[in-house]
A = this chain, B = another copy of it.
Amino acid sequence: MSRIYDRVALIGLGLIASSMFWAIKRAGLAGEVTGYARSAETRDTARRIGLCDRVCDTAAEAVQDADLVVLCVPVGAMEQVAREIAPALKPGATLSDVGSVKRAVIDAVGPHLPDDVFFVPAHPLAGTEHSGPESGFAELFDDRWCLLVPVPDTPQAPVAQLRELWQGMGALVEEMDAEHHDLVLAVTSHAPHLIAYTMVGVADDLRRVTDSEVIKYSAAGFRDFTRIAASDPTMWRDVFLNNKDATLEILGRFTEELFALQRAIRTGDGDHLHDYFTRTRAIRRGIIEAGQDTDAPDFGRQKVIK
Contacts and interface: CB of A to CB of B under 8 A. Distances in A.
Interface stretch (A4-12, A25-33, A195-203): A195-203
Contacts of A296: 302
B248 A262 contact: yes
Interface in A224-246: 224-231, 233-234, 236-238, 240-241, 244
A216 B292 contact: yes
Interface residues of A, number: 113
Contacts of A280: 197, 200-201, 204, 226, 229-230
Given A200-B280, A273-B241, A294-B302, A287 B128 contact: no
Interface stretch (A45-53, A148-156, A157-165, A205-213): A205-213
B250 A299 contact: no
Interface in A258-306: 258, 261-262, 265-266, 268, 270, 273-274, 276-281, 283-287, 290-294, 296-306
A219 B258 CA distance: 23
Contacts of A143: 304, 306
Interface string A119-159: 00000011111100001010110011101000000000000
Interface stretch (A64-72, A109-117, A185-193): A185-193
A129 to B, nearest CB: 5
A81 interface: no
Contacts of A221: 188-190, 192-193, 196, 228
Residue with the highest number of chain B CB atoms closer than 10 Å, among A185, A195, A285, A291: A195
Nearest to A174: B216
Copies assembled: 2
A194 B137 CA distance: 34
A234 B293 contact: no
A190 to B, nearest CB: 8
A214 interface: yes
A213 B180 CA distance: 11
Given A128-B297, A222-B188, A233-B281, A265 B253 contact: no
Interface of A: 76, 125-130, 135, 137, 139-140, 143-145, 147, 183-185, 187-206, 208-209, 211-231, 233-234, 236-238, 240-241, 244, 247-248, 250-251, 253-255, 257-258, 261-262, 265-266, 268, 270, 273-274, 276-281, 283-287, 290-294, 296-306
Please provide the 4 A-B residue pairs with the shortest distance between their CB atoms, ordered closest to farther: A128-B297, A230-B284, A189-B220, A233-B277
28 contacts: A127-B300, A128-B297, A128-B301, A140-B301, A183-B208, A184-B217, A185-B217, A188-B221, A197-B277, A201-B257, A201-B276, A201-B280, A204-B279, A205-B257, A206-B253, A211-B283, A212-B290, A218-B290, A218-B292, A219-B292, A224-B228, A226-B293, A233-B273, A236-B277, A241-B270, A247-B265, A251-B258, A291-B304
